[in-house]
Amino acid sequence: MKIVIDGKATWINYHHLYCFHTIVLQGGLTKASEFLGIGQSALSIQMKQFEAQLGFSLFERSHRKMKVNERGQVVLSYAKEIFRLGDEMVQTLNDRPASDRVHVQIGALDTIPKHLTVELVSQALSRKSSVTVMEGKPLELLNDLMDHRIDLLLTNALPQVRPGQIFAKRIARLPLWVVGSKAFLKLKDNFPESIKSQPFILPTADSNVRHEFENFRQLHQLPLDFLVETQDIMVQKLLAIKGLGLSIMPEFAVKEFLIKRELFLIGKIPRAFEEIFLISAARKIENPSAAAIMRTFKIQSHSTQTRDAPS
């Protein structure tokens, strides 16, 4: 790119810009030279050439240490955006394989009911897309979304980011139920008093489901026996099926097990819900299939209204 600096036309050397970007991110010449596979002296020469081309220094140098100066910080901010857009371009092109089947990369928190993930994948496939599903923790998946390594994120908590960075759509508001194996079915008659001091398999304290349940428990002054804490909803189900304790789950997550009579409804927690969101990140170039799913996705097999379940 040809630019004018102090009245002189010059061309930006993007290789040198990338080397500068890497030196700063890696914390110095030594690690940057290892990362780039370039000799340290050669890298130092390239930086001096880049500074000479720009007409100003990017670093404050003292005792073999390099600290980015004020102008260097300006260049760095642009370099980050330039190479972020480059990564986005590569990701977008990778979403368009030779078959013209648009590829959609979906992230789902490991606390999200698998039925919801299946519905999202099904609707992506109905658009003739290929799909990759990644499960993980909130922060790592949010980073993947912001860096465009995934196109869509299923989550039960809205992340705290700057306005305009993400687009979020609430796709479900799931009633919370107390469920258990047949051994606990007698507790249904006097709910919620009946669950006092009963063993419970609960999500961890940082989850919204746990927060809703704690409010309910305190309202009714219910002492409980917290037997197991786990954020994995499938582990919660399996432990509950084994009869090891009661569990609190979204209706949608246990519907199949209620129909099979592997779990039974003990009681419904009034005015308590788990909200599920579909999130995408702002991009210069949209993945067309992901954008369409974001606009139109609806849960086909679920009503957010509370319904009766087998007991």
What confidence tens digit (pLDDT) does each residue in 266-280 have? 999 999 999 999 999
pLDDT score recorded for residue 303: 42
CA 208 – CA 206 distance, rounded (Å): 7
The confidence band for 308, taking pLDDT boundaries of 50, 70 and 90, is very low
The radius of gyration of the chain from alpha carbons, rounded to an integer in Å, stands at 27
Residue 7 has pLDDT above 60, yes or no: no
Within-domain flag for 294: yes
State the CATH number of the domain containing residue 75.
1.10.10.10
Specify the residue for token string 């700057």. Answer: 162
CATH code, domain with 210: 3.40.190.290
Do 130 and 271 fall within a single domain? yes
According to the model, what pLDDT value does residue 10 have?
63
Instruction: Give the pLDDT confidence of 107-148 residue by residue, as tens digits.
Output: 999 888 888 899 999 988 988 888 999 988 888 999 889 888
Confidence at residue 268, expressed as pLDDT on a 0 to 100 scale: 95
Asked, for residue 261, whether it belongs to a domain, the answer is yes
Give me the pLDDT at residue 212, please: 92
Are 149 and 292 contained in the same domain? yes
Residue type at 173 in one-letter notation? R
90 and 108 belong to one structural domain = no
Measure the CA–CA gap between 306 and 252, rounded to whole angstroms. Answer: 10
Q: What confidence score (pLDDT) does residue 279 get? A: 95
The residue range of the domain holding 82 is: 2-94
Collapsing DSSP to helix, strand or coil, 270 comes out as: strand
Residue range 224-255, pLDDT digits in tens: 887 899 988 889 999 999 999 999 998 888 88
The model's confidence at residue 101, banded by pLDDT at 50, 70 and 90, is confident
pLDDT score at 306:
35
- Tokens standing for residue 198: 């009963």
Structural contact between residues 81 and 277, judged by C-beta atoms closer than 8 angstroms: no
Domain count across the chain: 2
Same domain, 152 and 216: yes
CA distances for 117 relative to 120, 131, 135, 238, 276, angstroms: 5, 11, 10, 19, 11
Band of residue 66 on the pLDDT scale cut at 50, 70, 90: confident
